[in-house]
Amino acid sequence: EAIEKGGYEHFMLKEIFEQPKSISDCMRGRLDANAGRLVLGGIREYANKLVNADRIVIVACGTSWHAGLVAEYFFEEFCRIPVEVEYASEFRYRNPIINEGDVVIAISQSGETADTLAAIELAKSKGAIIFGVCNVVGSSIARTSHEGAYTHAGPEIGVASTKAFTAQLTVLNMIALRVAHKKGTISERRYHELLVELENIPTKVEKALKLEPIIKEIAELFKDARNFLYLGRGFNFPVALEGALKLKEISYIHAEGYPAAEMKHGPIALIDEEMPVVFIATRDSSYDKVVSNIQEVKARKGKVIAVVTEGDVLIPKMAEFVIEVPKTDEALMPMVSVIPLQLLSYHIAVLRGCNVDQPRNLAKSVTVE
């Protein structure tokens, strides 16, 4: 097992650090920005179904559901197709409406999650075409889907999903960019810009991983917190959910993720000097709004830990702790901004003596209801 961990103390840490490679592996042979080439071999016969879709329904569970939420922003922004992201477990039990012209994307690391599989069967029985985004080759969901694209992240052993998430985002972004380009809902310039930026993501993730020492320090200071709040907006809203999920899964600290603006409708009541609030506050179209949300937390003496874009001068004046990640396009930022949150939950869990790779009560793949 020590050999399998490749010198890392836990599989989770190994998998976090593998991400520059797993994201590159996911793009290999598919994306060549220089040549303006983007091909997904697994989506051929039904490619036009996606391009002409009236609506995309995404079904998934857990971290894969969070990847679906990011994809919703991406597909709607660039393909102008309405997207609904569903918990597979809810979708399957409520006689969902599937019309001709709807397509379903199922996201699953293991490809074996019972609820997701059942959601696919149900959608199929209503005539939908299913695209699978799976990591495990030959898994049940991969086989049941009509077409799809593998994430090629390599085996993920840690129960808390890390590299599978960023690979899912990579695949979903590639699918959306293909569709947007075919539909003509994206300009050539923007398309090319995003291809180049996508290709640069592994380098940026590599840089983000270098933040580990400062994240360890923050983990020391907050390891005994009883609650955490994670806030973000836009593309970073699902990242807030994912950050909170990672923390509760492996450290057993109660954590909630919220869209930053929703804070005033509830979570703000929880804020006092005991409450660490993690903001994903990178430079993007909602930056100014997030800055005001930070001020609202500060005014109530909350402790702010902010993930910001390198070179930010404003937020370091307000936040107790600042984690600077490399700049990238706001649509691709989740792949970078999630990295410090994975590391933060990892280090807090280790400091609390938790079993990081096999947290209590959780399974890597939930094959029963």
Binding residues vs ligand G6P (CB under 6 A)? 61-64, 108-110, 113, 116, 159-161, 362, 364-366
Q: Which is nearer to ligand G6P, 108 or 173 (CB)?
A: 108
* Number of CB atoms found within 10 A of residue 147's CB: 18
What is the smallest separation between the CB atom of 148 and ligand G6P, expressed in angstroms? 13
What is the smallest separation between the CB atom of 156 and ligand G6P, expressed in angstroms? 8
What is the smallest separation between the CB atom of 213 and ligand G6P, expressed in angstroms? 27
What value, to the nearest 5°, has the Cα angle with vertex 352 and ends 347 and 357? 65
What is d(CA 197, CA 276) in angstroms, rounded to the nearest whole number? Answer: 32
What is d(CA 15, CA 347) in angstroms, rounded to the nearest whole number? Answer: 14
Long-range contacts of 194-200 (CB under 8 A, 24+ apart): 194/78, 194/329, 194/331, 194/332, 195/31, 195/33, 195/36, 195/38, 196/33, 197/328, 197/329, 197/332, 198/27, 198/31, 198/33, 198/170, 198/173, 198/174, 198/332, 199/27, 199/31, 199/33, 200/328
Q: Which is nearer to ligand G6P, 167 or 323 (CB)?
A: 167
Instruction: Single out the residue of 17, 332, 74, 38 nearest to residue 200, CA to CA.
Output: 332
What is the smallest separation between the CB atom of 365 and ligand G6P, expressed in angstroms? 5
Helix (H) or strand (E) segment spanning residue 116: helix 114-125
* Nearest residue to ligand G6P on Cβ basis: 62
Q: Which is nearer to ligand G6P, 134 or 277 (CB)?
A: 134
Q: Which is nearer to ligand G6P, 72 or 324 (CB)?
A: 72
Answer for the pair 77, 331: CB distance below 8 angstroms, yes or no. Answer: yes
Q: Which is nearer to ligand G6P, 113 or 309 (CB)?
A: 113
What is the smallest separation between the CB atom of 154 and ligand G6P, expressed in angstroms? 14
Main-chain phi, psi angles of 243, to 5 degrees: -60, -45
Q: Which is nearer to ligand G6P, 226 or 360 (CB)?
A: 360
Does 364 participate in catalysis according to the annotation?
yes
Q: Which is nearer to ligand G6P, 159 or 290 (CB)?
A: 159
Cβ-Cβ contacts under 8 Å for 284 (sequence gap 6 or more): 234, 235, 236, 330, 333
What is the smallest separation between the CB atom of 364 and ligand G6P, expressed in angstroms? 6
Q: Which is nearer to ligand G6P, 185 or 365 (CB)?
A: 365
Q: How far is CA 136 from CA 64, 195, 262, in A?
A: 13, 26, 36
59 token code pair: 């079904």
Beta strands 254-259 and 227-232, pairing class: parallel
214 token code pair: 């400062």
Beta strands 129-134 and 102-108, pairing class: parallel
- The one catalytic residue among 183, 223, 327, 364: 364
Q: Give the 3-state secondary structure of residue 277.
A: strand
What is the smallest separation between the CB atom of 160 and ligand G6P, expressed in angstroms? 6
What is the smallest separation between the CB atom of 112 and ligand G6P, expressed in angstroms? 7
What is d(CA 336, CA 326) in angstroms, rounded to the nearest whole number? Answer: 8
Q: Which residues are catalytic?
A: 364
